[in-house]
Structure 1
Amino acid sequence: MQTITKKVWGYRHVILIILWLLYIINYFDRLAVLTFLPFIQQDLNLTPVQVGQLASIFFFAYSIAQVTAGFLADKIGPKKVMNIAIIVFTAVTALTGLVKSFGQFIALRIGLGLGEGHHFAPACRTINNWFPMAERGRSVSFFTTSWAVAPAIVPVLITSISYYFFAGEWRPIFYLLAIPGLLGMFILWYFVSDTPKEMLDKGRLTKAEYEHITTSDTTEEDEEGVPSNQKKNASVFLRDPSFYLYTLLLFCQLAVYWGTTTWLTTFLVQQHGLNIKDMGLFASAPYLVAIFAMLIGGWLMDKVLHRMKPVGIIAYLGSIPVLWMLGSVEKGQTGMLLTLLLLVGFFVNLNFGSVYAYIQKRYPKEIVGRATGLANGIGQLGSFISPLVAGYLVKVGTDGTQEFGDVFIFFAVCSMIAAICALLLKEQKSLPTSVLLTKEKNSAKA
């Protein structure tokens, strides 16, 4: 068993890299709309409120889809669900190039949200099937870097293609994005299976790696003095005030992240007058920093601070002034604009790698799934509400110019609320009330 544990590389890592690539393809389709939103707005003669509605309706459908995705992944297998998801969001993205009206766009945004929303849960389920317990944290962390890598490369890549090959037109890009979708369907079909047993039978997985994956990790100790039936009781987190603080914190963090991601390109074009080429470069800048910020945040939590709370406080307190100032940068101050974009990318993403570990560290493992699902479900509403509210806060001048100062003040206020939540959070292991009372009685007797 010693030689198996020391094995660094195996077919499970091929699976992980493919899942990572597939999720970047997912983000290509999602971010293409947001990147070209200012030009789509101009061509379709949309108001800022309509733009906010288009952005928000996607996350409404996306939130609903995440619930059904987990159920379907358990029922018919994660590979089938991912395949359906890729087919749907690839088809919808190609059709986006044909959109002619606000109503058509709304329908396509709902379709895209339903398609992409059925991708994340089965991908996580696949990782769970393919990696032993001791490796799941690192494997999931690697998978989530796709959230930062994709926004770092997509805007600059697709705007450059549009600028150099299609004279700045946005519609051909959506037809072109069918190609990575088709490629994703092929590599999913050929390289990925729901379980290691399927690949073992095909001869692509060694017996040693199969045993390494399927051998249960029994070294983890249970919470002392907690009966198993109580560890499975959802009241452990439902009666915990910190759970609701955490949920509000996650709501605000996702509101800031997807609010800024949704409106960034429109802000750069409308308030700063950037052309399609320069806009792509500036829009990618925050996410280049975000990749390192996520890794630094995780390192601070694991190696230095050993808690999520101080990482969150640093992230949210840092976000407040840079978001506030970003909305007030005057046109032509490109140096200041780029500096603030980089700082926003750092602080907004610093706590992303560590925030999802909070529930795993606070609650018994038997209820982590339910606690995470409920918190994420509510938290995703921040992604839905934020772009919509921002659309109403955009100031439109008599000459058609748009100002985003109030929009970024709104994002800064969301960061302030998140900072307060982080300050009040408790991080020690949460136990059932009955167990706490028993321990208090035993301490008193002693």
Structure 2
Amino acid sequence: MSSTAAAPEHQTVHTSVSARASRVRWFIAIACAVGLAINYIDRSAISVALPFMTEDFALSPAQQGLILSAFSWSYALMQIPAGRLIDRFGERLMFGASVLVWSLFTGLTAVASSFGVLMGLRLGLGVGEAGAYPSSAKTVSRWFPPRERARATSVYDSGARIGSAIATPVIATIIAVWGWRAVFVIAFVFGVLWTAGWWALYRHPEALRRVNDAELAVINEDRAVPTGAKEKPMALRQLLRYRTVWAMMLGFFCVNFMVTFFLTWFPSYLVNERGFDLLKLGIFGSIPPIAAIVGSWIGGLTGDYLLARGWSVTRVRKTCLVTGMLLCAVISLAAVAPEAWQALALMSVSYAAAAFTIVTIWCLPSDVAPTGTVASLGGTQNFFSNIGSALSPIVIGALYGATGSFQAPLVLAGGVAVAGALIFGLMLRRVEPLVKTPVTA
């Protein structure tokens, strides 16, 4: 892809193409997916490596919990600033900058020498990664019409699931061959390469010669303001007036509390609770993340299919959200599963349901906010959701340390998922533009 040197040339290209729409928008969604795959490999790397890093650092369970949690605290705190910056400076600049910053902190983890340094690097990783999902949501809102956004969201979100799935076997292999420090060096290199590609190739739809008039017409379907127009984002205090926004934040808090188990304590659960060695961890530990990839795809297909069948946006989104959250709750049953394969099966269903739900959650900012506010709203909901991510490893670590078992943490995670289903079912009344439904009305 290359940008157009002059507006007249771009116009000539558009008028010379056939009526069949080009499909550049799907390559853009795939580029976002690759960025999020790197995102999740980098944030998951320490989770897979941590059982083996403790030999060098002599970390207690409480210290491990703090290290796993540190990322989420800075990640959550930077969500709102990241969203505002993305809406102001654009997803091209800010997505690339985000990947570059987190890749730097990932690479520096290879030379960490103490618990304090690890904590600082994890905090830095969270700052960098804060822009990834809001940038992807902004990109999809700019490139896709409402009828395609669930599928487009599932494409980029599946990148995160793919990253989670390949992280365990790939990182376990690297550790076995070169040691845990090599993991972070390799992750750094891939992040820098993606950043260079994104900055070189990404532009807005109207600035790419490969986007023909027919595709631009698709992109601008049902859009009050053309994709190239500049819009002033809504203020944070204005967003927080809406019941819809609070439902988005609280519901996302619940799903992130549950799903963060898979990104933090899951490898330790398999090693310590189920007796897996490094080989088994690498093979079987990737099953739930693979199931999550499928869950993400199903979420996108289901949402767009139901819209095409004539369901209202409210009915589609609420059905997917409540159903997904209730299925997430089966993680509690893994606590009493007598066999490891049974626990893995239940966790696979739970993780797939979480991915199914998250696709719908990330459709909501585009559903209810103007284009100029999508990243700000995405960052706002992601801020609150990642408080759940930050609390999850600490609470789970404390319960595990107190009981010596993962049974209580798994039951708690399932209970939080049920609470999320209630929030989406009862608190999220309608999915419609925010200007129509202020809380104070």
Same fold (TM over 0.5): yes
Report how far residue 55 of structure 1 moved. 1.7
Paired residues of 2:80 and 2:376 also in contact (CA < 8 A): no
Quick one: distance in 2 between partners of 1:250 and 1:242?
A: 12
Paired residues of 2:258 and 2:416 also in contact (CA < 8 A): yes
Task: Give the match's secondary structure for 1:403.
Answer: coil
Report how far residue 26 of structure 1 moved. 2.2
Match of 1:45 in 2: 58
Match of 1:195 in 2: 204
Change (3 A) 1:233 1:383: closer
Change (3 A) 1:213 1:174: same
Change (3 A) 1:83 1:264: same
Q: 1:101 corresponds to which letter in structure 2?
A: S
Quick one: distance in 2 between partners of 1:415 and 1:260?
A: 14
Deviations 1:183-236 (A, max 9, x none): 22332343x2343566x5xxxx24x627843898364589xxxxxxxxx89899
Paired residues of 1:38 and 1:270 also in contact (CA < 8 A): no
Worse overlay, 122-131 or 100-109: 122-131
Deviations 1:22-60 (A, max 9, x none): 222222211111111222234322122222211222111
- Structure 2, unaligned stretches of length 5 or more? 1-14, 226-233
Report how far residue 389 of structure 1 moved. 1.4
Match of 1:35 in 2: 48
Change (3 A) 1:237 1:93: closer
Worse overlay, 413-422 or 373-382: 373-382
Q: 2:269 corresponds to which letter in structure 1?
A: F
Match of 1:418 in 2: 420
Match of 2:335 in 1: 327
- Structure 1, unaligned stretches of length 5 or more? 223-231, 438-446
Task: Give the match's secondary structure for 1:6.
Answer: coil
Quick one: distance in 1 between partners of 2:100 and 2:305?
A: 41
Change (3 A) 1:350 1:216: closer
Match of 1:64 in 2: 77
Quick one: distance in 2 between partners of 1:211 and 1:289?
A: 36
Match of 2:274 in 1: 272
Paired residues of 1:78 and 1:126 also in contact (CA < 8 A): yes
Match of 2:130 in 1: 117
1:148 aligns with 2:161: yes
Q: 2:415 corresponds to which letter in structure 1?
A: V
Quick one: distance in 2 between partners of 1:26 and 1:73?
A: 17
Paired residues of 1:155 and 1:280 also in contact (CA < 8 A): yes
Task: Give the match's secondary structure for 1:93.
Answer: helix
Report how far residue 129 of structure 1 moved. 5.0
Paired residues of 1:236 and 1:433 also in contact (CA < 8 A): no
Quick one: distance in 2 between partners of 1:241 and 1:130?
A: 28
Paired residues of 2:87 and 2:376 also in contact (CA < 8 A): no
Change (3 A) 1:136 1:342: closer
Match of 1:341 in 2: 347
Quick one: distance in 2 between partners of 1:259 and 1:289?
A: 15
Match of 1:7 in 2: 21
Worse overlay, 104-113 or 148-157: 148-157
* TM-score computed with the length of structure 1 as normaliser: 0.79
Paired residues of 2:257 and 2:391 also in contact (CA < 8 A): yes
1:354 aligns with 2:369: no
Paired residues of 1:316 and 1:416 also in contact (CA < 8 A): yes
Match of 1:95 in 2: 108
Paired residues of 1:327 and 1:409 also in contact (CA < 8 A): yes
Quick one: distance in 1 between partners of 2:95 and 2:239?
A: 31
Match of 2:31 in 1: 18
Report how far residue 247 of structure 1 moved. 2.4
Match of 2:405 in 1: 403
Q: 1:258 corresponds to which letter in structure 2?
A: T
Deviations 1:121-168 (A, max 9, x none): 3444445555567755543332222121111112112212333x23xx
Q: 2:265 corresponds to which letter in structure 1?
A: W
Change (3 A) 1:88 1:244: closer
Quick one: distance in 1 between partners of 2:82 and 2:239?
A: 24
Report how far residue 264 of structure 1 moved. 0.3
Query: In the comparison of the two structures, how many residue pairs are matched?
Result: 411
* TM-score computed with the length of structure 2 as normaliser: 0.80
Correspondence for 2:193 among 175, 183, 189: 183
Match of 1:249 in 2: 251
Quick one: distance in 2 between partners of 1:415 and 1:6?
A: 44
Paired residues of 1:236 and 1:363 also in contact (CA < 8 A): no
Task: Give the match's secondary structure for 1:307.
Answer: helix
1:308 aligns with 2:310: no
Report how far residue 352 of structure 1 moved. 1.9
Report how far residue 396 of structure 1 moved. 5.8
Q: How much is the aligned-residue C-alpha RMSD, in angstroms? A: 3.6
Quick one: distance in 1 between partners of 2:68 and 2:324?
A: 25
Paired residues of 1:18 and 1:187 also in contact (CA < 8 A): no
1:427 aligns with 2:430: yes
Deviations 1:340-376 (A, max 9, x none): 2322223333322223334555677787665544333
Match of 1:173 in 2: 183
Change (3 A) 1:284 1:251: same
Quick one: distance in 2 between partners of 1:359 and 1:124?
A: 8
Of structures 1 and 2, the larger Rg is shown by 1
Quick one: distance in 2 between partners of 1:246 and 1:92?
A: 30
Quick one: distance in 2 between partners of 1:178 and 1:433?
A: 44
Task: Give the match's secondary structure for 1:28.
Answer: helix
**Could you say which structure has the greater relative contact order, defined with CA pairs below 8 angstroms and 6 or more residues apart?**
2
Quick one: distance in 2 between partners of 1:235 and 1:8?
A: 40
Change (3 A) 1:237 1:34: same
Quick one: distance in 2 between partners of 1:13 and 1:310?
A: 26
